[in-house]
Amino acid sequence: MTLKAVARNAGWLGLVHGLNYAVPILTVPVVARALGPNTYGILATFYAYATYAGVLTVYGFNVTGPRAIAALHDDDVHALSKTVSTIVSAQALIGVVAVAVSFAALSLIPYGDEYRTVGLVVLMHTFSGSLLPQWVFIGLQRTRNLALIQLVIQAVAATIVLVEVRTQSDLLLLVTVRCSAAALILIFSLAELARYGIKWCTPTKVELVAAVRRASRLFFSAVSINLYTTTTTLIVAFVLGPVAAGAFALANRVRGAAAGVIGLITQAVYPFLCRIAGREETHEEAWARRLFLRAIVAISGVISLTLFGFAPFIIWLAGGRAFQDATQVLSIIAFLPMVAALSNTLGRQTMLPLHMDREYTRIVMLAALFGVTSMFFLTHKLGLRGAALGMLGVEMYVAGAFAVALQRRKSILSLFFKYR
C-alpha cells in the first residue's frame, strides 16, 4: 500500500467519518432545543446503555478483520468471501443475543420502563451500526462507495430530523429515523460488497468458533475501553439525574465529533501498519508511517486547544443557554482528543500491529477497573466537573501505560522521527 493509496483511502474515510459526526452534529442544535436537557439526557442514557450491545457485536473483529484481509492475496476472492462471511455471521449471532439480553434488562437503567420502545429502537440502531462491515472496505481500499452510500442516506435522515423534530413528543420519531438510516446503510453496504465479487459462504461451526477465539482477547479490551468512556454518561445519569446527563452528553458529543476528524487518519493507516509490522520497512513506508503518526498527534492538539478556547460559544451554538452546565465539562474534556490520539498512536496503531495484544488488553482492563470506580467517586463528590476529570485522568493513565509497555519493545521516538 503506497503513500498515495493510504492518502486516497484516508480522504474517503474522512468523508465517512465526517458524515458520521457532522450530520448528527448539524442536527444537534435542533434536537437539543426540541428535547431540552431532561429528555436529551434520557436519550443519551439509552445510547450509552446500548453501546454495550454495540461493543458485543463488534467484539474485536474491527481489529482482527483488517489483519485477516491484509494477510490475504489480493486476487484470492474465495478466501476473502470466506473471511468476510465468517466474521459477519459471528457478529450477527453475538449481536442478536446482546440486543435481546439488553432489552430484557432495560428496566435496570433510569427511565427504562417508561421509554421501553425508545430503548428498543436505540438498541436496534446501535446493532445496525456495529454490524456495518466498514473494516472490509478499509482493508480493500474501496471506501469511496461506502462514503457515497452514507452521504445519500445520512443527508435524507438529517433533512427529516431538521423538518419534523420540534418537541419532546418527537423523541420516538427521532430514534426511528436514525435507526432506519443505519439499517439502510448496512443493507446497501452488504450489496456493494457483492458487486466486488464477495459471495456469501456459509461458515461452519468450527470456523465461527475459531474467529471468535481470535478476537476474544481484543473483545475484552474493547469492553474495557467502553467501560471507562461511555459508562460515564450512565454514571452521571444515576448519580446526578437526567438534566446533568444531558449536559454531560452534549459536551461529550461535541468532543467526540471534533475528535472524529482523527478517525479518518487512524482507520486508513491501520491496515498499512499491519502490512509493514514485523518486517523491514522500505524508506517510503517508514517515511509514510512517521508522517501519518505525526499528523495524528498534531491535528489532535489543534482540536483540543480549539475546544478549550471556544467552549462557551460551542456549547451555546450546540444547545443554547439551557445547556450552560456543559461548558465546564467541555473545558476539561477538551484535552481528551490530544491525549486519546497519543494513546491510540501507541496502542492501536503500534502495539496491535506488533501483536502486543496481551499487554494492550491488560492496560485497558486495569483502566476500566479503576476508572469506573474513580469516576463514580468523583462524580458523587464534584458533580459534572468530577465526571469530566475522571474521564481525562483515565485516558492519561492509558497513554502513559502504553508508552511504558511499548518502550520495552521499540523506541517510541522512532515512531515519529528518523531515529537510530
Q: Cell 471534533 appears where?
A: 258
259 contacts 307 by C-beta, under 8 angstroms:
no
Handedness of CA 244, 247, 253, 259 (dihedral sign): negative
Across 5-126, the runs of DSSP E, i.e. the strands, are none
Q: Whole-angstrom Cα distance, residue 343 to residue 384?
A: 24
Q: Quick one: cell of 94?
A: 453475538
| Residue 278 Cα to chain centre, angstroms | 27
Per-residue pLDDT of the chain (420 residues; tens, 9 = 90+): 455 655 565 566 655 655 566 666 678 889 999 999 999 999 999 999 998 899 888 887 777 777 777 677 666 788 888 888 888 898 999 999 999 999 999 988 888 888 999 999 999 999 999 999 887 887 676 777 787 888 889 889 999 999 999 999 999 999 999 999 999 999 999 998 888 888 888 888 898 888 888 777 677 777 777 777 778 888 999 999 999 999 999 999 889 877 776 766 676 666 666 666 656 667 777 777 777 778 888 888 999 999 999 999 999 998 888 999 999 999 999 999 999 888 888 887 778 777 787 888 888 888 888 888 888 999 999 999 999 999 999 999 999 999 998 888 877 777 777 755
Who contacts 14 (Cβ-Cβ below 8 Å, separation ≥6)? Answer: 261, 264
Q: Quick one: cell of 250?
A: 452534549
157 contacts 178 by C-beta, under 8 angstroms:
yes
Q: Whole-angstrom Cα distance, residue 179 to residue 121?
A: 7
* Helix (H), strand (E) at residue 153: helix 143-164
pTM of the full structure: 0.78
Would you state the pLDDT for residue 294?
A: 82
Q: How many Cβ atoms are within 10 Å of 416's Cβ, its own excluded?
A: 16
C-alpha to C-alpha distances, 54 to 67, 219, 222, 282, nearest whole angstrom: 21, 11, 10, 38
By residue range, what is the domain housing residue 234? 3-416
Q: Cell 428535547 appears where?
A: 35
C-alpha to C-alpha distances, 221 to 58, 227, 253, nearest whole angstrom: 12, 10, 23
Q: How many structural domains are present in the chain?
A: 1
